[in-house]
Structure formats: C-alpha cells, structure tokens
Structure 1
Amino acid sequence: MNDPRRPGKPATINDVARLAGVSKKTVSRVINNSPFVREETRAKVEAVIAESGFSPDPQARGLAFRRSFLVGMIYDNPSPNYVVNMQQGVLDAVRGSGLELVVHPCNRAADSFLADVEGFVVRQKLFGVVMPPSVSEDERVVALLRQADCPYVRIASVSLDEPARMVVTNDSRGAAEAARHLAQLGHTRVAFISGPDSFRSSHERGRGFSEGLAEYGLTLDPAYVRRGAYTFESGAEAAADLLALPDPPTAIFAGNDEMAIGVMKAARDRGLDVPFDLSIVGFDDLPMASRVWPNLTTVRLPVRDMGRMAAEKLTARSRGLDPAALDQPEIIPSLVVRDSAAPPRS
C-alpha cells in the first residue's frame, strides 16, 4: 500500500492513521500493544502498517509506553516479604493486558516524601496507582493523586474511601481470632507486640486482640504491650524485653510474621521451648510462616490476592466495568493453627 502523495518517502504514523481511517492516538495504542483497542480496529491498523512498511521510532514508542501503560505501586512497608507478595498480586491482574508494574519505595517520615511521590507520579505519567498500607492511609497522598487526576486504589484495614477505590482487609477480626485461640488454650498472661504507630493496621490489630481477649474475661495489661516496627529485629528486641519481666508472659501475639519470628529467636536465646514455655502467634501468613520451626500459628491475610483485587479495581473502568460492582469476595482474615502455640505449662 503506497501513498501516491509521498513517492519514495517512508510512511509515517500520520499516513497510517489516514489510510486506516483512525486517529494518530489509536495507531500509537496499537503499536504499544494497548489493551484498550477493539480487535477489529487493531487488525485494520496492523494491516495498514504491514502494507505500508511503516516502522515506528523505538524512542518515540518508549515515550508513549511510559505515558500510558504503567501501574505504580507506592509503598512504605518494612516487610520485604509482604511487599513481594503484594507485587505478585498486582502482576497477576495486569499480566497479558499490556500494562506493566513500576514500584516506588518511600519513607513517609522523610521531609521529601510528598515531593518524591509527586515527582514519581508526574514523571511516569502513570495509568494509576495501587497503595498498600501505610501509604494508603495518608490523606495527603490521596489529595495529591486527585489533583494530578491519577486513578488510585487503596488497601487498608478499614474503609477510608468510596468502594471503587478500596480493598478493605478487616485486620481487627483476624486479631480477635488470635486472642480467642490463646484464651482457649488457657493463657492469661498474654503480651502484644504492635507495628509502627503510623500504621492504621497496628491499631486495628491491637483493638481486635483486646476485644477477643475481653470475650473470655481477659484484659490486655499495658505492661505486656510493646511497640515494634514490623521487622524481625524489632520483634526480637521487644520479646527480649517482655521475657525479662519478673512475671513474663506465657504467650505473645506479634503484629506480623516477621516480628513473630523475631520473638522465636528471643525465646531460644533465653533457652525457652516454643510452644511449651512460650506460645507465639503472628499475622499475615507469609510463606516463611510454614518454613520456620516450629511452624508458626498465624492469622492468614491473603496479601497476594489483595494486590490482585486492587489492580483489578484500578483497571476496571478501562475494561468497561464498574469498580465498585466487581465480584470480589470480602477479605476475612482467618487463623491458621500450626505448632507454635500450646497450653501453658502447669
């Protein structure tokens, strides 16, 4: 297919658009394998490209790709296992769609936090953003994304936004299950190691744990509460402090699995037998929970599914769907009983 008006000259994207009877933007989407082009239109444009010998400029194609087909994940989470599982879930949702994932780790405590996020969003011209905790809980980031007209979906322990923009994880319900389990085993001296104060999940898990204990007439003694950082090291340090008390706890509920495994180390350092000298329960059920010994009793939060569900909501409108009406199950954390908790010694 030769253009008589351009004898001897290579075809351009404008030529392809005119000959195919579509816009230049549609041709660009076809070139970049956008999922948002009808198959009939795609076939027509590809036929014109093949017959005209048009060859897109690689640099221009790359620029178009970055403008249109990147899903961002902005996170401030000290647990690498959690982050990797979340990324896998997002990738599950976008695989084969022409969209790609780009991640942006950040530090909410840094003075440059908001400027860094704004630079990332504007520079990448993102298709949209998935926000895990605790970035999802920061209303300053939400305001920034709205101002930039950048779609987003938040993952959080409670609802913070309209349903189309939320995946709610109901963390307090899972923590209550952990408390019931320890109470049913007969523990009364029970400790709690929370996550960082800046995470809403820390408060929700603490609240749920206290409410679960209350169902059995137990109270979470403030002397048995320590603040952690959702890291192995902080769990070990907090547990060492608790186990050095004159009347140490017989069970510890850690706010995530990484801290729970840190508690295991602290117990072993003191020569304690887990679970018979000290019962330990974690939260998240990351893959490591079933690989340590004893296998960790923990609250299962489907982190990978959470990432997938958030990305599905983010891309729903581009697929002609209502994000709020997607057929997604409610996330209900559940207790996974393994070997790290047992009745206390007589």
Structure 2
Amino acid sequence: MPRTRKEPDARADFRGKAATINDIARLAGVSKKTVSRIINRSPLVRGDTREKVEALMREVGYVPDPLARGLAFRRSFLIGMIYDNPTAQYIVDIQYGALDALRDSGFELVVHPCDSRSPDYVTGVRRFVQQQKLHGVMLVPRVSEDQALCDMLNEIGCRYARIAAVSLDGPEKMVVTHDRDGAAEVADYLQTLGHRDVAMITGPAAYRSAIERTEGFVGALQRRGIELPKSRLVEAGYTFESGVAAAEKLLGAKKRPTAIFCGNDEMAAGVYRVALRMGIQIPQQLSVVGYDDSPLASRLWPPLTSVRRDTRDTGRMAAAMLLQNEAGSRPLSSVRPHLVIRDSCQPPA
C-alpha cells in the first residue's frame, strides 16, 4: 500500500515562541489583511477561508494582541470598570458579569479602583481612560452617581454605562437596579409577620443606593401605618465592622427592636455577631433581613433572609451596552430585586 503523506504539525514552528499574525497568514496562504478581517469578524471573508484560518489559530494557540489591534484600528479593545465600593463580593460579581458579556468579543476588561472622596479623583479617572485609550467604561456605584465624572467622560468622548439605583441618564447609558422596590418588599414582609417595632441599619448617606433603600423601607412602613423614629435609623458604612457598631447601638438600647433590616448582607453579619455576643436568639428574639443576597446570606446560621438583585446580570448588561455600535432608541435596562425568604425571620414573640 502506498504510504500517505503526513501533514506537517503547524505547532512545530512555534515551540518556545508565540505565533504572530504574519505567521498565521504565511501558514494559511492568505494575506495579513484577510487574517485581520477574520479576527475582527468581518463579513468580507469566504466561509471556507475563515474556517481554515480559525482552525490554524486554534492549533498554534494564536491570541490576538489587543494593544496591536487598538493601534491598527486607532482605538482600544479594552473596557474599563471604575469603582469605589466597600463590598468586595459585589465588585467580584459585577466583574464576572462583565466577563460573561466580553467573552469571545475580542475585548478585555481592565479595572480601576478609586477613592471618590479624593478631590482629584475625576482627574485620575481621566488620565486612566486616556492612557489606556479605552473603548468605554462601566461605572459602578458610587462613582456612577457622580455627574461631574460623567460630564468629564462626555467631554473627552468616552462612552460609558452607569449602574445605579435609579435612572440618572439616557436609557442607552443606564442599568437601573430599583433598590427602593426591594426595600419596600422587606417592609411589607416584616409587617405581614406582625413586626411594628423595627429598625434599619442604612448604608452611607452619600450613596444613592442607601437613600433609595431607606426611603423605600420607611415609605412602605408609613403606608402600612407604622412610623419609624429617627432613633431606629442608624447610618453605617456597608461594612461588617460598621454593622457591628450599629447593632451595638440598637441592641444595647433599653427597648430593642424586634426586627432589623440591614442595607446589605455584610452589615447583617455584624448584627449576627452582636446578637450572639449578647445572647439574643435569631429569629426567636430578633428577626434580621439583609440586602444583596450575596453568598454570605446562605452561609450564616440561621440562613439570612435577603433581597436578591442579580449583580452578575447587572455587570453583563452594562458591559454589553458598551459593545453596541450605536445606542439608538431602546428601552431602559433594568434588574428587578426580590426578597429571598430563609430562616432569619419569624413573628415577634
């Protein structure tokens, strides 16, 4: 039998080094421009040519250089994520959502933490955007609530997507999380259980999310005939430590509330710590509700009732918004919260 000719292994040419776009063009027998069109999903390439080149790129492990692509197209293939948020799990979930949207798009995600209380932080963000030549930026609360930052981005021609509790911009730039509605659902639930002496540990007053959650909770109670005195509203910082300090104030009072709603799960965990130390049983003597429904909520004991907002989906929506070529006219992007009931609440004794 005649021996069949063995096809050469393309990977043999690149042992110890990375293939370039010129290598791919040479091995595939096409022009560099054709390879570039295939990388950028141009429709101007025949199907069989596209399949052959893509198979070759997979074989040799070729990965397009986003910086080189940016130079060729006079723009970057980088999406920025700008944040100043004390809740680590929230930031991680937003990133995962953004990466979901960017997968197989040719774009990469770069993150930029900042201190929005610093007087020159807007200048710092401007420098970051211009140095990286970003295609667009995702703005995460609380920086998404800063109009001066958005005005700067408009001035330098950088597209952005804002994530916020309420609509602060045109629908092509907003993902709204409707925090007021989630907090109102908590008030309705606690009142249905029979709680009338309730308290709330709020987030920082500078955060729009904290304002919306507080007003949503207080307003829903008022509609049910329950007035929340100022002594039952304690501001904290969306952190475990600030939740501990706020819980000590509420649970150390001569008359303690029968239920506490916390502006996020981290602060609710702080309430659990103080209740345990003081010998207060949850939920027999104190009902507790959180917000975010982070992984922490189901890991506490008893498992924490919490408002779920799909944070990962929020990040996906914001990143996908930046990949659209034209904003056009479209409906507002929304993520609706809902209460997840677990074992941390029961009717008051």
Normalising by the smaller structure, the TM-score range is: 0.7 to 0.9
Give the Å deviation of 1:39: 5.4
Does residue 85 in structure 1 map to residue 93 in structure 2?
A: yes
Give the Å deviation of 1:193: 0.8
Does residue 213 in structure 1 map to residue 221 in structure 2?
A: yes
For 2:141, the equivalent position in structure 1 comes to 133
So what's the TM-score if we normalise by structure 1?
A: 0.83
| AA partner of residue 38 (structure 1) | P
What secondary structure, in the 3-state scheme, does the structure 1 residue paired with 2:199 have? strand
Aligned match for 1:147, one of 126, 146, 155? 155
For 1:255, the equivalent position in structure 2 comes to 263
For 2:245, the equivalent position in structure 1 comes to 237
What secondary structure, in the 3-state scheme, does the structure 1 residue paired with 2:118 have? coil
Measure the CA separation in 2 of the matches of 1:27 and 1:220: 67
Give the Å deviation of 1:61: 2.5
For 2:126, the equivalent position in structure 1 comes to 118
For 1:190, the equivalent position in structure 2 comes to 198
**Contact 1:155 1:168 survives alignment (8 Å):** yes
For 1:294, the equivalent position in structure 2 comes to 302
Deviation track 1:104-128 (CA, whole Å, cap 9, x = no partner) reads 1111001231121111101110010
What secondary structure, in the 3-state scheme, does the structure 1 residue paired with 2:291 have? strand
**Contact 1:34 1:69 survives alignment (8 Å):** no
Measure the CA separation in 2 of the matches of 1:60 and 1:206: 45
C-alpha distance 238-41 of structure 1, shift in aligned 2 (>3 A): farther
Aligned match for 1:342, one of 332, 338, 346? 346
| AA partner of residue 223 (structure 1) | S
Taking only the aligned residue pairs, the percentage that are identical comes to: 45
Give the Å deviation of 1:264: 0.9
1:1-346 mapped onto 2 (5 Å cutoff): 30=37, 33-35=39-41, 37-38=42-43, 40=45, 61=68, 64=71, 67-317=75-325, 322=327, 324-325=329-330, 330-345=334-349
Give the Å deviation of 1:207: 0.5
C-alpha distance 273-58 of structure 1, shift in aligned 2 (>3 A): closer
**Contact 1:275 1:342 survives alignment (8 Å):** yes
Give the Å deviation of 1:169: 0.9
What secondary structure, in the 3-state scheme, does the structure 2 residue paired with 1:283 have? strand
**Contact 1:89 1:304 survives alignment (8 Å):** yes
| AA partner of residue 43 (structure 2) | R
C-alpha distance 323-94 of structure 1, shift in aligned 2 (>3 A): farther
Unmatched 5+ stretches in structure 1? 1-11
Structure 1 ranges of 4+ moved more than 3 A = 26-31, 41-44, 55-60, 62-67, 321-324
Between 305-314 and 62-71, the greater mean CA deviation after superposition: 62-71
**Contact 1:250 1:277 survives alignment (8 Å):** yes
Measure the CA separation in 2 of the matches of 1:136 and 1:206: 19
Deviation track 1:4-45 (CA, whole Å, cap 9, x = no partner) reads xxxxxxxx98xx9xxx9x9x9x779549x345x33518958x
**Contact 2:236 2:243 survives alignment (8 Å):** yes
C-alpha distance 39-292 of structure 1, shift in aligned 2 (>3 A): farther
So what's the TM-score if we normalise by structure 2?
A: 0.82
| AA partner of residue 105 (structure 1) | P
Measure the CA separation in 1 of the matches of 2:64 and 2:96: 32
Report the count of equivalent residues. Answer: 316
| AA partner of residue 348 (structure 2) | P
Deviation track 1:221-243 (CA, whole Å, cap 9, x = no partner) reads 10011111111111111011111
Measure the CA separation in 1 of the matches of 2:111 and 2:289: 31
**Contact 1:157 1:200 survives alignment (8 Å):** yes
C-alpha distance 280-56 of structure 1, shift in aligned 2 (>3 A): closer
**Contact 1:196 1:230 survives alignment (8 Å):** yes
**Contact 2:317 2:333 survives alignment (8 Å):** no
Measure the CA separation in 1 of the matches of 2:273 and 2:64: 57
